[in-house]
Amino acid sequence: MTEIRALIVDDEVLARRGIRNQLKHAPDVSVIGEASNGREAVAAIREKKPDLVFLDVQMPLLDGFGVIERLDKHLPAAIVFVTAFDEHAIRAFEVNALDYLLKPLDPRRFQQTLDRVRSQLMSARTARRDERIVALLNELKSRREYLQRIPLKQNGRISFLNVSEIEWINAQGNYVELHTRNAQHLLRDTMDGIESKLDPAKFVRLRRSIIARIDQIKALHPLTKGEFEVILTRGQQLRSSRRYRRNLDVLLKN
């Protein structure tokens, strides 16, 4: 039995653990490492040269598509995209005949995907696969165009806020509160929703309820249990949570 060396890439610990648990039923697959963000993934793939990568599509700072672009022609033999995208995007994966797993993971679907990976590795036909990945990136490119302006409804009028003016964001019930230099604006959205629309190279999730613009972060003060006090350029003091510590670790490496 030929061993398949796998790397798991996802910014959520529980998601990585879920893939590991599914792989316990695949004795021919050995997990050689994990990465919690796109930049770690690029470094790990170049160093470890895995046969198979489970690649989360939506990650902070550098998403799954950014990983593919950074690797260029040095892609692993098999890639399984892990995604929470909607049906429109899923059709793009299917049209291009690329393997994907939809969150939350379905055990039967997972094993079917592994069977396809085994066949692909045995055939060693990757050139056509690479062409399909390029086609997928082009097809989903419009989905990766991040927000530039946000329409705000107030008193029967619609005004527009430039995303570049936002310094930080926090959850406020069924809304998110957008903080700029001179004002606060309420927008009906979720934190996950607004995060998916913002450029991950410019905004970072500090905790479940807070997102900050990266160029507004002036200092980080370590607290206990992996948390940080985050100081913005105009003196606001935010607090990161242990769950999102890895996001700040990446900033510290820059």
68 against 28, higher pLDDT? 28
pLDDT at residue 23, as a whole number: 96
Rounded to 5°, angle at Cα 212 from 208 and 217: 130
pLDDT at residue 250, as a whole number: 67
Phi, psi dihedrals of residue 174, rounded to the nearest 5°: -85, 10
pTM here is 0.58
Over the range 54-70, which residues count as b (16 or more CB within 10 Å of their CB) and which as e? Answer: bbbbbbbbbbbbbbbeb
pLDDT at residue 26, as a whole number: 94
CATH class of the region 149-253:
mainly beta
Q: What percent of the chain has pLDDT over 90?
A: 45
Question: In angstroms, rounded to a whole number, what is the distance separating the alpha carbons of residues 245 and 254?
Answer: 15
How many other CB atoms are there within 10 angstroms of residue 205's CB atom? 24
Tokens of 48: 């470890």
Tell me the average pLDDT across 213-237: 93
**What mean pLDDT, rounded, does the chain reach?**
85
Question: In angstroms, rounded to a whole number, what is the distance separating the alpha carbons of residues 221 and 199?
Answer: 25
Q: Given CA atoms 221, 227, 229, 231 in this order, what sign does their dihedral have?
A: positive
pLDDT over 80 at 152, yes or no: yes
Predicted confidence (pLDDT) per residue in 114-124, tens digit: 998 898 887 75
Predicted confidence (pLDDT) per residue in 83-104, tens digit: 876 565 566 566 555 688 888 8
pLDDT over 80 at 73, yes or no: no
The residues of the chain that CATH labels 3.40.50.2300 are 4-143
Q: How far apart are the first and last CA of the chain?
A: 42
The residues of the chain that CATH labels 2.40.50.1020 are 149-253
Question: 4-143: what fold?
Answer: Rossmann fold (3.40.50)
Predicted confidence (pLDDT) per residue in 2-57, tens digit: 899 999 999 889 999 999 999 999 999 999 999 988 888 999 999 999 999 999 98
